[in-house]
Amino acid sequence: MKKRLSMLLAAALMLSLALTGCGNGRDAGTTSDAPETNSTAPVQSQAAEPTGGFEAGATIGVSLPWLGTQNWKEADEMFKTQLEAAGFNVIVQAADNKVPQQQQQIEAMIQNGAKVIVVGPIDGSQLGAVLEEAKAAGIYVIGYDRLLENTTGVDGVVQFGSIKTGELQAQALLDGLKEKKGDGPYNIELFGGGPADPNAPNFFTGAMSVLQPKIDDGTLVVVSGQTDFTQCATIDWDNSKAQARMDSLLSGFYSDKEVHGVLSPNDGIARAIITASEQAGQEIPVVSGLDAENESVEWVWSGRQYSTVAKPTDVLVGKTVEIIKSLQAGNGMPAADVSVNNGKIDVPVYELPPVVVTKDNAKEAFANDPGRLELLK
């Protein structure tokens, strides 16, 4: 018995040597079924150059930061269904908000012979070496929802215009204040998103481009005086941190004042702000949002949260899939809307328009979204 076990072990070892010993030469690339490297394609150059395309059933990798919010969960499902429907072999993985994990997942996708890797980065600037490795293996890299910075290993980025989103959030806040809180001046507070996400400062910049003139002319008063992005940022987009900050703002500055409005960068933080205000005995302020999460759609419908901005995940995923299909057909990257410098190179960016949702236009905004329409009852 004992002898047999050790014999088995020895046999397994021999087998492994045999398995790996064959068909794995220096020039065969990474793995036996690795991409037959687009050695003809000039992989260094950016986008738009027609290439030979690849076979219809090729592997597509999708690396998402995590599945902790609704939009990422939706993206996870939509990528799977839409890419599978198009006949691709899909790997979708989420990295639990850990950068090293995401780096290793992307490497595993390279290993798995992906032709295109879609990356929704945790930190857009920390994937440089890995993405360059993907490029070197002849893989197309598409940034999803967030800009990929500080690397040459990116072919294009699909996202909603983040400056534009910020502007829309601020405008909705102003409209809401006028509608709900009578004439000014209004007391407001500002919240930013997770600083590691390159979109967060852009949201804030966009919003401030609308709000700053009103602050200057006295219509808006930021009672705490905290108007700098680093002061307002919410690390990791963590709702509980936002709520803690709101609690302390309310107890520190609003013991004898009413807070009329709060700029919130997304829905989770918006709900945290509203909860904190209610607990402090404040009348619910006008709060902006983003992402049209189910919970917030209900809150908008019931009037607790004034607005949210829908960045319909299906549109974003749809655009990404469209690019992948174009690459597969050999038509290269489609023409981009704008080009943004990411610190190393100019990256083509496909910008999609976001939609502001308030109680008034909710039914129209979600006309094509039966799931969310269901919530408006």
Partner 1 sequence: MKQIKQVLGGELRKYTMVIALVALILIFHIASGGKMITPSNFQNLLSGNAYVLILAIGMLMVIVIGQIDLSVGSVSGFCGMVMALTATNLNWPWWAAVLCGLGIGVLIGAWQGFWVAKLGIPGFITTLGGMMIFRGGVIWISKSISVPAPAELKWFGAGYLPEWGPSFTGMNNSTLLLGIIAIAALAFMQLRKHKRTSELKGGNEPLWPVVTRIILGAVVIGYLTWLFGSGRPGTSFPIPGLILVILVIIYHTITQRTRFGRHIYAVGGNKSAAALSGVNVKKTYFLTMLNMSFLAALAGIMFVGRSTAAGPSDGNGWELDAIASVYIGGAAVSGGVGTIMATMVGGMVMAVLNSGLMLMGVGADKTQVIKGLVLLAAVAFDVYNKQPGHVSITKRLFSTKDSAAKEGSPAAKES
Would you say 5 or 335 has its CB closer to partner 1? 5
Would you say 89 or 282 has its CB closer to partner 1? 89
Would you say 30 or 70 has its CB closer to partner 1? 30
Burial class (CB in 10 A: 0-12, 13-18, 19+), 25: exposed
Say how far apart CA 299 and CA 77 lie, in whole Å: 25
* Residue from 7, 56, 85, 235 binding partner 1 (CB under 8 A): 235
Q: Is 308 helix (H, G, I), strand (E, B) or coil?
A: strand
* Residue from 221, 343, 355, 359 binding partner 1 (CB under 8 A): 343
Of 78, 88, 74, the closest CA to residue 117 belongs to 88
Q: Does 40 bind partner 1 (CB under 8 A)?
A: no
Min dist CB 348 to partner 1, Å, is 20
Say how far apart CA 287 and CA 116 lie, in whole Å: 39
> What letter does residue 235 receive in the DSSP assignment?
G
Say how far apart CA 152 and CA 108 lie, in whole Å: 20
* Residue from 230, 335, 370, 377 binding partner 1 (CB under 8 A): 230
Which parts of the chain are beta strand (E)? 59-64, 89-94, 114-119, 140-144, 156-160, 186-190, 220-222, 261-263, 286-287, 307-310, 338-341, 346-352, 355-358
Q: How remote is the C-alpha of 245 from its chain's centroid?
A: 24
* Residue from 71, 151, 305, 313 binding partner 1 (CB under 8 A): 151
Site size toward partner 1 (CB under 8 A) is 62
Q: Does 11 bind partner 1 (CB under 8 A)?
A: no
Centre a 10 Å sphere on the Cβ of residue 84 and count the other Cβ atoms it contains.
12
Which residues, 280 to 319, sit near partner 1 by CB under 8 A?
A: none
* Residue from 114, 127, 249, 357 binding partner 1 (CB under 8 A): 127
Min dist CB 321 to partner 1, Å, is 19
Candidate ranges 96-104, 166-174, 212-220, 366-374; the one touching partner 1 (CB under 8 A): 96-104
CA atoms within 13 A on the CB side of 160: 24
Q: Does 202 bind partner 1 (CB under 8 A)?
A: no
Candidate ranges 124-132, 213-221, 265-273, 286-294; the one touching partner 1 (CB under 8 A): 124-132
Q: How remote is the C-alpha of 328 from its chain's centroid?
A: 24
Q: Does 118 bind partner 1 (CB under 8 A)?
A: no
Q: Is 234 helix (H, G, I), strand (E, B) or coil?
A: coil
| Rg, the chain, Cα only | 24
Q: Does 238 bind partner 1 (CB under 8 A)?
A: no
Residues 242-281, one symbol each (x = binds partner 1 by CB under 8 A, - = not), give: ----------------------------------------
Say how far apart CA 287 and CA 277 lie, in whole Å: 11
Q: Does 219 bind partner 1 (CB under 8 A)?
A: no
Centre a 10 Å sphere on the Cβ of residue 40 and count the other Cβ atoms it contains.
9
Min dist CB 28 to partner 1, Å, is 9
* Residue from 74, 123, 167, 189 binding partner 1 (CB under 8 A): 123
Burial class (CB in 10 A: 0-12, 13-18, 19+), 15: exposed
Min dist CB 318 to partner 1, Å, is 23
Q: Does 6 bind partner 1 (CB under 8 A)?
A: yes
* Residue from 41, 48, 86, 108 binding partner 1 (CB under 8 A): 108
Q: Is 17 helix (H, G, I), strand (E, B) or coil?
A: helix
Candidate ranges 7-15, 244-252, 326-334, 357-365; the one touching partner 1 (CB under 8 A): 7-15
| Residue ranges that bind partner 1, judged by CB under 8 A | 2, 5-6, 9, 12-13, 15-17, 19-20, 24-27, 29-33, 66-67, 91, 93-101, 103-105, 107-108, 110-112, 123-130, 133, 136-137, 149-151, 195-196, 201, 230, 233, 235-236, 343
